[in-house]
Structure 1
Amino acid sequence: MKKLFTLLCLICISVSAFSQNTYNIVPVPQKLVPQSGVFKLTKDTKVVFKTGDNETQRIAKLFADQINTSSGLNLQVKPASTGSSNVVELKNNAALSDEAYVLEVTPKKITITAKGNKGYFYAFQSLMQLLPAEVFSSVKVSDVKWEAPACKIEDAPRYAYRGLMLDVGRHFFPVTFIKKFIDILALHKLNTFHWHLTEDQGWRIEIKKYPLLTQIGSKRKETLVGHYGTNKYDGKEYGGFYTQEEIKEVVAYATSKFVNVIPEIELPGHATAALAAYPQLGCNPDKIYQVVTTWGVHDDVFCPREETFTFLEDVLTEVMALFPSQYIHIGGDECPKKQWKESRFCQDLMKREGLKDEHELQSYFIRRIDKFITSKGRKMIGWDEILEGGLSPNATVMSWRGIEGGIAAAKENHDAIMTPTGYFYLDYYQADPKTEPLAIGGYLPLEKTYSYEPMPKELTAEQQKHIIGIQANVWTEYMATPEYVEYMAYPRASALAEIAWSPKELKNYQDFEKRMKVHVKRLEKLKVNFCNAFIAGKK
């Protein structure tokens, strides 16, 4: 009996190793059972779906179109018929969760079962990864066997919120790249694009009621060269912003890939670009503000006058009309208090409102904005500094200065998203700085990113429910081009995706690294300029 048990254990280990090393899916599925044989895509293969569901048809067509582009097979998308073989069939199961799916590949057919379209979409991401990497090519590829290995996958995400942030305030990127950025998110089953739209160095979103925000606030006269403190500048004007039509275009595109776009409008700090356009909103209305040409934290912040709140409410009203996201991000981080301490108006306001210090004044500011956002049926989210001086009633906290902010928020029964600098700040060096492009500093290799466990042990089971997900952040002070952004984001964002989606029990860095050596071939076909330091073995 003991020998039989040992043999069964060895078989299980062998099957597990086989599944993980042969089926190179990123993020790794919740459950994968390998089976014998392959399904061969041919010119007669059809993608079939329930009659009358236009959205399901659209998703099926996304898959078929990509197959047809890379293979030339000309797969057809049609309503389902009974007893079909040589098909990719979409079936419904209302008992599954929204993002869950079951993918069964046999030599005769492929069956995808899901509750609805999110599940179908994520199943297709996995199915694409079962096919040769050439499936992601933008041109027809010859001499490829368009086969998927037989298996059964049962899959669903660990966390509901799976995000990646892109800062376009420091450097601006065209809509074409933003769409590509969203494509790669979706491939990794990430479902949130956090768009950091305003900064000291540039205001990047058109607000029709306040045209000077883009006429003045979107341009800086020059840009710092090298690291902070060099005092060297390029002498070239820099600018760019997204029109409201472009914003709508991006939001619609992201929605088609089941990616939610969360806009961030920074307040009360990181406001210099806005103050350059409308100086009356600062604590020194007579000052001539200029859009900042260097990086770091700056003293110029919004002054909590009624005029300022009217301005911000007007801005947020236009923002909410453009973004259907339930979450609206208001920043709330790195707000110096120097000008508030020196302002007679601020000191009088503090006395009148019974605020003991400037931290409570910031809380007062944030609470005013929270109340307004809540009145519009939305939810406010901010960086963990919004905890200082008292957390606003309806706020969700993004914990970036370590994990303490997330723990504190969860203990107060507020939702939190974990995004600690030491694991998820993708502007840090990922290999030896001597061999890498200029970055802000720090050291964050792929293995460290992958090692992060989001759920703090300090929380009770009930409090843990408030940790709703994780996010990585791409701050672009030193990233002037789309290629540079991709290089810093990937493959570390792939590690983020696996932490966010896959069960904790399946985390295995050696296995992840093996799968990534296949996965980067897909990124190559997608023309993603990833960092290959982990392949080259740089430490």
Structure 2
Amino acid sequence: MKKKLLQFITYLLFINGSISAQLQKPVLHDSLFSTYYHQRVTLFKSIPQTKGDIIFWGNSITDGNEWAELFADLRIKNRGISGDVTAGLIHRIDEIINRRPAKVFLLIGTNDLARGIASDSVVKNILWIADYLKQEIPATKLYVQSIFPVNSSFGKFAGHMSKAEEVKKVNDQLSRNAMAHHYFFIDLYSSLVDADGWLDARYTNDGLHLTGEGYMLWKHLIYPYVYDRPKQASLIPLPQNIEWKKEKFPLYASNAIVINDKAILKEARLLQHEMQRIGKTLQIIDRAVATDPQIELKLGKVDAPQSSEAYHLIVNASKITLTANTAHGIFNGLQTLFQCMRSGVMVDGCEIKDWPQFSWRGYMVDVGRNYQSMDLLKQQIEIMSHYKLNIFHFHLTEDVAWRLAFRQYPKLTAPQNMLRDKGLYYSENELNELIAFCKERYITLIPEIDMPGHSAAFTRAFGFDMQSDSGLAIVKNILKEFCATYDVPYLHIGGDEVKITNKNFLPEITALIHRHNKKTIGWDPGGNLDKKTIRQLWMKDGAVDKACTYIDSRHLYLNHMDPLESVVTIFHRQLGDRMKEDKNISGGTLCIWHDRRVAKEDDFLKMNPVYPGMLAFSERSWRGGGYQGWITNFIQSKADTAFTQFEQRLMEHRDQYFCGLPFPYVKQSFTVWNLYGPYENSGNLSKCFEPENKSFNESKSVSSLYVTGGTIVLRHWWHPLVQGVIMNPKENTTWYATTRLWSDEDGFKDFWIGFNNLSRSPATDTPPVGKWDEKESAVWVNGKPVSPPVWKRGGQKGDSEIPLQDEGYEYRAPTKIYLEKGWNSVLIKAPVGTFKGADWQNPVKWMFTFIPADGVSTME
């Protein structure tokens, strides 16, 4: 043993004395390492290599865990070897390097100290490992975990127990050196140590190694690092009041859900199902068992402005208590609790008191133009419920097709009277099924039968207009059947975008609906609605009629929005120009009107920012607040910080809850551009200016702006109501934008690039063959032009019946660009001629998008 120890020390001195620009791995003799060490190493080398691995690397403490099972993630690999030391890791480091993993979690050093190796030498070896990994696989993230404390009370591992002070010294030096040596330091020691400075006896049975409870805590502590998430759970919508605490509730040890009222049994079963999903079976009881960690749901008193949906959540080390005034409040609190349960083993201590600022938080889908299956509708409704949206607006009838069956008039849904998705509609049973599905989730389904506008399908079925005497009589019969059949409190009657030829039409139908004890909603601007009918704003800006109640949907149409713009815009919106609900504004509804035909139904979610937009709207409609006006780009104010924090939470939800679902959004708040212009191009959009010259000096440019984001709107197509980044945009001008990207290594990277994110409503022309757009826009990386896509239908005249395929960056294959190791320069050219589009179907969108498709922060 003395000889081997001397060999180790000699080796360490060699490593520590080796200083060169290019690190060289030393050669160590196999005889230095145990039989078990070689068994494990040969196994590791034999296992097939996979991409994107997350490797846990270390000694017996790492070896003793089933990491892939613990995280339910096959990317996570165990590279622990019992008894291993820093020299052993160095000897087998090539196996790690050859795999080129995404992340490495390193825990090593306690055995070195036990063998008499000085703490400084242990630190130097770990730093050498960090430097060598950075040299050989610079794109791999390294996480160095603190050495664990020990506990001498078990009478074992005497060599380890005498090194408590050295452990602290090593951890302190590893923490101090993290930035200089390009790794992340994770302090696990502080969470495992007891008040006397020993390894907490709750987590060990021998003083050195962990029990199951210890591994549960370890998982919870490193979970944010494994998945690039903040320390605490990212909650959407963010509660009104939240205080995080140091305690942690052990989900893995809980056995019961306690309820004080059978009225919340449904909610208890929802929690029971969620616990089963993470592998824990809990019984529902009406009395607590004092010795067991437990979760209590109870109806009680919670003081809040919107008391019916409010809740109070308290999490400590022994109990989770969720209190609300109503079962709906319990349901809302559970959605927050589920997000707090992200690690699946523990919940961080906290106290949350929460309520909505707006009682109307809606989402609308148009199935008149394009039918959606029951499964797709339920998917969207389910996700609505997770984010506390409570109104599902179901737009059922359109010029294209009438999608709701009526017993009296089967010809309404006859295939020959539909222009798309012929014969696809919703039966009485299906609509009732959706109504019940929504009610289970505290969502109100609001059907819309649009009248008298958007009713060409009605006219095709009967041969006369709705506003005729015959048409009005049939509409009244339809409404009587509807009111007798469906248990819903509201009926949306549309009433917009039509010339009113029968002034009695809307008053008569609203009166009929009101007599059947249902409330009405109509679009504003729209027809001659009575004061009782709720107005849904879709266009006009400014003051509202104080005698009416309004829902805001202005500039909340997802089908018009660039995905990256959508989250920025919706996050900054101020619903109804109010900070919170009042007697005139009850909230808002987010809408999707995909007018163009789709090739397949999931294109709704791929081509429109449905889920990222929904989460941004959830945040704003629940919390209230926002900013005056229409904000398309980042603004230089406190909103920047607020948005950046929200975006971080949004990214966590995308990665954790939307795997396998379309979620067209990537992190963009790190992307900063310098803008140069305007350069007068006199209508010659291909004209070159200074920024295209290699000798261009940015500091001597004509003028400059600094903007942030992946999509930059220079001039909005609804200017001046919606402002772009250029305050006074001029026709026949060219602007340039520059930024820099860092790459850890040479290689191709995927990018989202675009210059005209086509709305999914008008029949916009496709981009010209061989060009990014019709404005001669261009992009260069490191001075080399980036070629536009080979458009599937380049230069085609717009046609609403031809589905979009690759026109938007978010639903075509990303552009691959070769990046050099180090800094890479990006230059964008964005010319414009006239601001007047060729026709209303082709508005001039003066904008550009350029961002890594994975959203990884490579920008300067």
Q: What TM-score does the superposition give when structure 2 sets the normalisation length?
A: 0.47
Do structure 1's residue 403 and structure 2's residue 541 form an aligned pair? yes
Distance in 2 of aligned mates of 1:101 and 1:362: 49
Residue 121 of structure 1 corresponds to which residue in structure 2?
Answer: 331
Q: CA deviation at 1:402?
A: 3.6
Distance in 1 of aligned mates of 2:334 and 2:502: 46
Higher helix share: 1
Q: CA deviation at 1:310?
A: 2.1
Specify which of 437, 450, 453 is matched with residue 266 of structure 1: 450
Distance in 2 of aligned mates of 1:193 and 1:217: 29
Residue 617 of structure 2 corresponds to which residue in structure 1?
Answer: 496
Q: CA deviation at 1:363?
A: 4.8
Residue 517 of structure 1 corresponds to which residue in structure 2?
Answer: 651
Alpha carbons 1:85, 1:108 under 8 Å: kept: yes
Residue 228 of structure 1 corresponds to which residue in structure 2?
Answer: none
Equivalences for residues 388-467 of structure 1 within 5 A = 388=527, 390-404=528-542, 407-409=543-545, 411=546, 413-420=547-554, 422=555, 424-431=556-563, 444-456=565-577, 464-467=582-585
Residue 602 of structure 2 corresponds to which residue in structure 1?
Answer: 483
Q: CA deviation at 1:456?
A: 2.8
Residue 187 of structure 1 corresponds to which residue in structure 2?
Answer: 386
* Residues 80 and 320 of structure 1: CA distance in aligned 2, closer, same or farther (over 3 Å): farther
Specify which of 300, 304, 311 is matched with residue 101 of structure 1: 311
Distance in 2 of aligned mates of 1:199 and 1:455: 27
Residue 440 of structure 2 corresponds to which residue in structure 1?
Answer: 256
Distance in 2 of aligned mates of 1:510 and 1:330: 39
Q: CA deviation at 1:303?
A: 2.4
Q: CA deviation at 1:430?
A: 1.7
Specify which of 231, 241, 265 is matched with residue 57 of structure 1: 265
Distance in 1 of aligned mates of 2:392 and 2:399: 21
Distance in 1 of aligned mates of 2:481 and 2:239: 40
Q: Secondary structure at the match of 1:245?
A: helix
Greater relative contact order (CA < 8 Å, ≥ 6 in sequence):
1
Distance in 1 of aligned mates of 2:341 and 2:619: 20
Residue 403 of structure 2 corresponds to which residue in structure 1?
Answer: 204
Do structure 1's residue 157 and structure 2's residue 356 form an aligned pair? yes
After superposition, what is the alpha-carbon deviation per residue over 1:103-126, rounded to whole angstroms, capped at 9, x for unaligned? 111111100000111000000000
* Residues 158 and 261 of structure 1: CA distance in aligned 2, closer, same or farther (over 3 Å): same
* Residues 431 and 499 of structure 1: CA distance in aligned 2, closer, same or farther (over 3 Å): closer
Amino-acid identity (%): 27
Residue 23 of structure 1 corresponds to which residue in structure 2?
Answer: 233
Residue 529 of structure 1 corresponds to which residue in structure 2?
Answer: 662
Indicate the structure (1 or 2) with the bigger Cα radius of gyration. 2
Q: CA deviation at 1:57?
A: 1.1
Distance in 2 of aligned mates of 1:131 and 1:194: 31
Distance in 1 of aligned mates of 2:615 and 2:525: 28
Distance in 1 of aligned mates of 2:530 and 2:230: 45
* Residues 431 and 186 of structure 1: CA distance in aligned 2, closer, same or farther (over 3 Å): closer
Q: CA deviation at 1:218?
A: 6.0
Equivalences for residues 254-403 of structure 1 within 5 A = 254-279=438-463, 281-282=464-465, 302-305=466-469, 307-335=470-498, 337=499, 358=500, 361=501, 363-386=503-526, 388=527, 390-403=528-541
> Relative to structure 2, which stretch is displaced further, 472-481 or 243-252?
472-481
Residue 340 of structure 2 corresponds to which residue in structure 1?
Answer: 130
- Cα RMSD after superposing both structures: 2.6
Do structure 1's residue 67 and structure 2's residue 275 form an aligned pair? yes
Q: CA deviation at 1:362?
A: 5.6
Distance in 1 of aligned mates of 2:483 and 2:292: 47
* Residues 402 and 533 of structure 1: CA distance in aligned 2, closer, same or farther (over 3 Å): farther
Alpha carbons 1:363, 1:392 under 8 Å: kept: no
Q: CA deviation at 1:502?
A: 0.9
* Residues 151 and 94 of structure 1: CA distance in aligned 2, closer, same or farther (over 3 Å): closer
* Residues 403 and 185 of structure 1: CA distance in aligned 2, closer, same or farther (over 3 Å): farther
* Long gaps (5+) in structure 1: 1-18, 133-143, 224-236, 283-301, 338-357, 433-443
Distance in 2 of aligned mates of 1:372 and 1:116: 33
Equivalent AA in structure 1 for residue 522 of structure 2: G
After superposition, what is the alpha-carbon deviation per residue over 1:164-187, rounded to whole angstroms, capped at 9, x for unaligned? 001101111111111111101101
Equivalent AA in structure 2 for residue 472 of structure 1: L
After superposition, what is the alpha-carbon deviation per residue over 1:218-249, rounded to whole angstroms, capped at 9, x for unaligned? 632xx5xxxxxxxxxxxxx6441011111111
Alpha carbons 1:30, 1:503 under 8 Å: kept: no
Distance in 2 of aligned mates of 1:277 and 1:41: 58
* Residues 214 and 80 of structure 1: CA distance in aligned 2, closer, same or farther (over 3 Å): farther
Q: CA deviation at 1:20?
A: 8.9
* Residues 80 and 476 of structure 1: CA distance in aligned 2, closer, same or farther (over 3 Å): farther
After superposition, what is the alpha-carbon deviation per residue over 1:165-211, rounded to whole angstroms, capped at 9, x for unaligned? 01101111111111111101101100000000001111111101111
Distance in 1 of aligned mates of 2:577 and 2:428: 40
Q: CA deviation at 1:87?
A: 1.2
Equivalent AA in structure 2 for residue 77 of structure 1: I
Distance in 1 of aligned mates of 2:593 and 2:231: 34
Distance in 1 of aligned mates of 2:434 and 2:611: 21
Q: CA deviation at 1:324?
A: 2.5
Do structure 1's residue 538 and structure 2's residue 693 form an aligned pair? no
Alpha carbons 1:328, 1:381 under 8 Å: kept: yes
Equivalent AA in structure 2 for residue 477 of structure 1: D
Distance in 1 of aligned mates of 2:559 and 2:291: 50
Q: CA deviation at 1:129?
A: 0.7
* Residues 454 and 198 of structure 1: CA distance in aligned 2, closer, same or farther (over 3 Å): same
Distance in 1 of aligned mates of 2:416 and 2:532: 30
Q: CA deviation at 1:217?
A: 6.5
Alpha carbons 2:413, 2:423 under 8 Å: kept: no
Residue 215 of structure 1 corresponds to which residue in structure 2?
Answer: 414
* Residues 218 and 34 of structure 1: CA distance in aligned 2, closer, same or farther (over 3 Å): farther
* Residues 393 and 402 of structure 1: CA distance in aligned 2, closer, same or farther (over 3 Å): closer
Specify which of 579, 586, 597 is matched with residue 468 of structure 1: 586
Q: Secondary structure at the match of 1:22?
A: coil
